[in-house]
Every structure is written in C-alpha cells, then in structure tokens.
Amino acid sequence: MNRLHHWIPTNPVIEQYLAPPDVHEVHRARGPGAMAAFLLALIMTLAHALNLYLFLPDMVPVALLVHAVLVLATAVVARLFIRRDMDARFFMILLIATAFLGVYGGAGTLLAIVFYFWHMRSSLPFIEWFQSIFPSREPSAPEVIYDNIVIGRDEAAQSYNVVPFMDVMEAGSEKQKREALSRMTVRFDPAFAPAFRRALQDKSNTIRVQAATAVAIIEHQFSERLMQLTGLYQRMPREPAVVIALAQHYDAYAFTGILDPQRERANRDEALRLYMEYIQLMPQDEQARIYAGRLMLRGGETERAAEWFSECVRAGFRSDALTVWYIESLYAAGRYAELRAVAGQGAALIDAYRVANPALAESLMLWVGRIVPPSLAGGVV
C-alpha cells in the first residue's frame, strides 16, 4: 500500500470486505460442485456396473456403445459446470477415470470425493495455513528508522536544521521547495495544507506544477477509496462497520484542508448524515456521537452542537472527551452560564489535564472560578 494511505482511515473489517477473494478459498468453498459430482459419480458407477452385467461378455459392441454414451454424458455435464464457472474438478476426474476404467474409475472417484469431504472438516483456510508457516510481524519503530537510514530513505544521519514547511515555501530555494513538497506528499497531514496552498501560488512554474500534482495524487487516493467504500455501502447499507467507515472517510476528506469551501462543506454534511445514520444503528457508540457534534461545531451550527451534546449528557454519556466538546460548543454558542455549570461538574478534568493539556486545565479553572496557579499560568497569578 502506498505510504499516502497512512492518513486515510482504515478498518480491518472493511479491508476484509474490500479484499479480493483468495483463489484458494474460492476453490475450497465450492462444496456444491463436489456434491453434484458425488451424485453423478454414484449414478455413473451404477450405470457402468449395469452395462457390464447386461452386455458382457456376449454383446461387446453394445457394451462399448453404452460405455461411450455414458462417457459423453459425463463430458456434457462437466462442460456445463465449466461454462458457468462452477467447480468442475471432480467432474473432470470422473470423466477421465470412467473413460479408461469404467466402473472402477467411478468407484475411485466416489472414494476421492468422500475423502475430500472428510478432509474439509478439519482443514485450515489457506491464509491461516500460510501464516502458521510464515508468521508475519510488524517491525518496531526503531527497526523502521534503522532500515530507512541504512537503505537511504532517511537522511537522519546527516546534520541539518528542521525548518517548518511553510517557512520553506515562503523563503526557501527551489530545490528546498521541491524536497519539501516531496516529503509532504509522501507523508501527507492536514497540517501541511497551508504549505500546499502557498506552493500553488509560487512564482516558479515548476513548484506550482509539482504542488498541483501532489494535491491531485492526494485527492485521487481519497477518491479511489471513496468509490470503494460507496460501492460497499450500496451493497451493505445496514452494516454498521461500513456506515461508520464511509462517514469517517468523508470526515477525513473534509479535514484535509486541500478542498475548496463548497466541496469541504459537502463532504462534512455527508459525513454528518452518515454519522447520524450509524448512531441509529449503534445508539450506544459514544465516539460516533462526539464525531457528529464536532462536525456540527465545525460547520458553524453552534446551537445545534450544544443541544446535541446536552442530549448526549442527558442520555448518560459522560466521558472526558464528550465533556470537553460540550464545553467548547457552549462557549461557541455564547451560553456562558451553562458553561460554568458544566465546567464545575467536570472539575475533575483539571487534575486529569494538568500535565497533558495545561491550557485546557487553565481554561477550566477560570470558568470554575479557581485561581490559576503559577505552574499553569506561566508564573502569572
């Protein structure tokens, strides 16, 4: 998979739905063909036995003619299964075996099919068998860094200063801009969007073309994935994993920062619609509720977001993340009295975020009415 896909949301269940069928599993799962072959082999074995009983040794020409008719009938049935792309392996075995061995070929084919069904009761899928022999292991982060340095993909062994991509686009040389665009394309992140937009307005035609190509590559990968997920959603519209995957993809696409305002808004609206649809299927998924309220807030629907989070709280959802977004929506909506009440109820977040997010802890302390300690306020009381 191209490294650009690292930012596109993925889900193991969805990857399994979208993965092409394993040819080994396709052949393994074709039980109806084997069952039909068993019935035909049983009929042909009895027919060849009856042929031997009735016409040998006194009427050899008639016996040979009946034998040819039976072989031809087997060939016709095998041909029908092949043309319909059905499992015809045992039909071909039956055809060859009965053509040369008659009743003994039919009996041997019956025995082979019985052993096949017996083996299928305990056989492993091909992928499980292969992984048991060659287990896969994800390399650790230090191993990846080491390999990149040795192979030459990473220049960490060289001494250079780290410069923000936006500064490179503003004041760097053309070579530096090309290198920055290459790195941003390979490891795309929404934070790079302003640098991409700046590169699209660069005075150098080379930089503008490279930036436009990079944006086209990123959009192509999102669009390609979107087509796959949309097709899956059309086939499985009530499957929660599919609905949430498509919603998250629209959400991520809107969040890239490389879309024009109209397309960004359209993607955000579609993501919100799908989140709501998913919540109807999985009403206890709190994370999806947070995603939906966050999109309302980003879309400027502050009152709707505040009401949404309020309904979530009344429904019994009270995680730290939901409380923080609820406070954010109340602030954006200008509902400060409610904000103080909610901040007071979530005062425990102050200690929880004192180290991880001091700015958030400081804001909560201000709304609760506590004095901001110097450790959080940078020495200002």
Indicate the SS3 state at residue 285: coil
Confidence of residue 208 (pLDDT cuts 50, 70, 90): very high
Domain that holds residue 70: 23-129
Query: Sign of torsion, CA 145 147 153 154?
Result: positive
Question: Does residue 7 lie within any of the structural domains?
Answer: no
Give the torsion through C-alpha atoms of 16, 21, 25, 28, to 10 deg: 130
Residue range 144-201, pLDDT digits in tens: 666 656 554 455 444 444 568 888 888 889 989 998 898 888 778 777 888 888 999 9
**Which is higher by pLDDT, 350 or 213?**
213
Question: Does residue 99 lie within any of the structural domains?
Answer: yes
Q: Are 339 and 309 in contact (CB under 8 A)?
A: no
**Which is higher by pLDDT, 131 or 101?**
101
C-alpha angle 214-215-216 in degrees, rounded to nearest 5: 90
**Ramachandran category for residue 330: left, alpha or beta (phi over 0 → left; psi -120 to 50 → alpha):** alpha
Helix (H) or strand (E) holding 247: helix 240-255
Question: Does residue 164 lie within any of the structural domains?
Answer: no
Mean pLDDT of the chain: 82
Q: How high is the pLDDT of residue 133?
A: 66
Residue range 300-311, pLDDT digits in tens: 999 999 999 999
Q: How high is the pLDDT of residue 159?
A: 45
State yes or no: pLDDT of 122 exceeds 80.
no
Cβ neighbour number for residue 140 with a 10 Å cutoff? 9
Question: Does residue 192 lie within any of the structural domains?
Answer: no
Question: Does residue 117 lie within any of the structural domains?
Answer: yes
Question: Does residue 294 lie within any of the structural domains?
Answer: no
What 8-state DSSP symbol labels residue 138? P
Helix (H) or strand (E) holding 363: helix 358-368
Question: Does residue 355 lie within any of the structural domains?
Answer: no
Question: Does residue 312 lie within any of the structural domains?
Answer: no
**Which of 23-27, 282-286, 364-368, 369-373 holds the top average pLDDT?**
282-286
**Which is higher by pLDDT, 152 or 205?**
205
Q: How many domains does the chain have?
A: 1
State yes or no: pLDDT of 223 exceeds 60.
yes
pTM of the complete model: 0.62
N-to-C CA span, the chain: 52
**Which is higher by pLDDT, 64 or 342?**
64
> Whole-angstrom Cα distance, residue 195 to residue 256?
12
- Farthest CA pair distance, the chain: 118
CA distances from 114 to 35, 39, 119, 161, 357 (A): 10, 11, 9, 71, 66
